[in-house]
């Protein structure tokens, strides 16, 4: 930790637009680390039980508050390593269900600029990314919607297409998430039939994300649409609780804004989203705030 602090003090920063995320078309230069803290708050009062929208007076508003460390390191100018580890706390505003909290899943990404090409006087990039996320400890996934996560180890295979012209850009990505089986604290459970095992098959997921925005040396601003589509899984039965292997889908829209402060290397970001439609999923809306700092990790003499 002290080493990191010393590095903080001796940074050298190039004034560029830097990325922190695993879904954008931006890269950190070699040996630069962009690290910071992000916090978010999201909540829902209504949710989709199968495709039927309802509320639950015995839960009230379910909220999820998280604080996480995130970072993006330039292994090379074209290959970035991204990490993220959040602490999550959940709560129900009504009823008597216990909220959950704890450190959730560590996610790691490798993002590679496979192709960078001038097309129609703009820059086109093709960026494959590989992600892996894993729970850092056992937390129960069996008290949804209050579980802090799904407890699944996930391999994510993503392809990002990014096109920028005169600072305006479009970024689209598609991700296949291979979710590994999870384990419960009980030895049988009911999905659409009784299963005698503590192991649960988690259906895989497709994610689609499309963003349109403006970026220059000082700001990144975009609006986005995101779709999650669980491949398989079952619907929550009428008035039953959700289960990790439900068929969870959503369509969301949101906005993302990042600003490079006059303090060299320090940037702040804000984002927000809301859910348009869903299935076996809360009508989540949320906001996030973050602050990042860029550090030159090149060995100094």
> Which residues contribute to the site for another protein (CB under 8 A)?
57-58, 79, 94-99, 110, 112, 114, 128, 130, 138, 140, 142-143, 155, 157, 178, 180-181, 184-190, 193-197, 199-202, 237-241
Distance, in Å, from the CA atom of 158 to the CA atom of 225, rounded to the nearest integer, reads: 16
Identify whether the C-beta of residue 160 lies closer than 8 Å to the C-beta of residue 145: no
Least separation in angstroms between residue 266's CB and another protein is 31
In the complex, least distance from residue 203 CB atom to another protein, rounded to whole angstroms:
9
Query: Minimum CB separation from another protein for residue 188, in Å?
Result: 7
Nearer to another protein, 188 or 264 (CB): 188
Max intra-chain CA distance, the chain = 67
Please say which residue, 138 or 214, places its beta carbon nearer to another protein. 138
* Distances, alpha carbon 50 to alpha carbons 201, 210, 252, in Å: 19, 26, 17
Q: How many residues can be counted in the chain?
A: 301
Q: Which of 149, 93, 162 is nearest to 122 (CA)?
A: 162
* C-beta closer to another protein: residue 130 or 219: 130
Smallest distance from the beta carbon of 143 to another protein, in angstroms? 6
Q: What angle do CA 228, 230, 234 make, to 5 degrees?
A: 135
Task: State the minimum distance, in angstroms, from the CB of residue 126 to another protein.
Answer: 11
**8 A C-beta contact, residue 230 and residue 205:** yes
Which residues sit opposite 163 in a β-bridge? Answer: 124, 170
Least distance (Å) between residue 118 CB and another protein: 21
What is d(CA 273, CA 225) in angstroms, rounded to the nearest whole number?
A: 9
Q: CA 42, 130, 205, 164: dihedral to nearest 10 degrees?
A: 70
| Nearer of residues 38 and 113 to another protein, judged by Cβ | 113
For residues 4 and 269, the answer to whether their CB atoms sit within 8 Å is: no
The nearer residue to another protein, 111 or 279, going by C-beta atoms, is 111
Looking at beta carbons only, is 95 or 261 nearer to another protein? 95
């Amino acid at each position: 930790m002290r080493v990191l602090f010393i590095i903080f003090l001796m940074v050298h920063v190039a004034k560029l637009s830097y990325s922190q995320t695993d879904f954008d078309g931006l890269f950190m230069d070699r040996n630069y680390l962009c690290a910071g803290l992000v916090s978010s708050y999201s909540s829902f009062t209504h949710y989709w039980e199968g495709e039927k929208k309802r509320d639950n007076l015995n839960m009230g508003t379910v909220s999820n508050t998280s604080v996480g460390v995130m970072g993006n390191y330039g292994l090379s100018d074209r290959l970035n390593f991204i990490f993220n580890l959040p602490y999550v706390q959940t709560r129900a505003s009504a009823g008597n269900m216990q909220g959950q909290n704890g450190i959730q899943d560590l996610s790691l990404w490798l993002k590679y600029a496979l192709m960078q090409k001038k097309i129609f006087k703009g820059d086109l990039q093709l960026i494959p990314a590989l992600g892996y996320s894993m729970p850092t400890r056992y937390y129960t996934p069996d008290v949804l919607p209050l579980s802090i996560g799904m407890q699944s180890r996930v391999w994510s295979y993503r392809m990002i297409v990014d096109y920028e012209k005169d600072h305006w850009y479009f970024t689209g990505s598609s991700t296949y998430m291979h979710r590994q089986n999870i384990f419960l604290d009980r030895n049988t459970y009911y999905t659409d039939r009784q299963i005698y095992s503590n192991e649960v098959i988690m259906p895989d997921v497709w994610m689609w994300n499309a963003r349109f925005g403006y970026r220059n040396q000082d700001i990144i601003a975009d609006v986005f649409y995101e779709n999650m589509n669980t491949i398989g899984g079952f619907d929550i039965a009428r008035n039953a609780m959700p289960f990790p292997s439900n068929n969870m889908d959503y369509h969301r829209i949101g906005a993302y804004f990042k600003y490079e402060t006059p303090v060299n290397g320090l940037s702040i970001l804000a984002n927000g989203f809301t859910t348009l439609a869903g299935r076996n999923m809360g009508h989540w809306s949320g906001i996030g705030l973050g602050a990042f700092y860029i550090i030159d990790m090149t060995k100094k003499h």
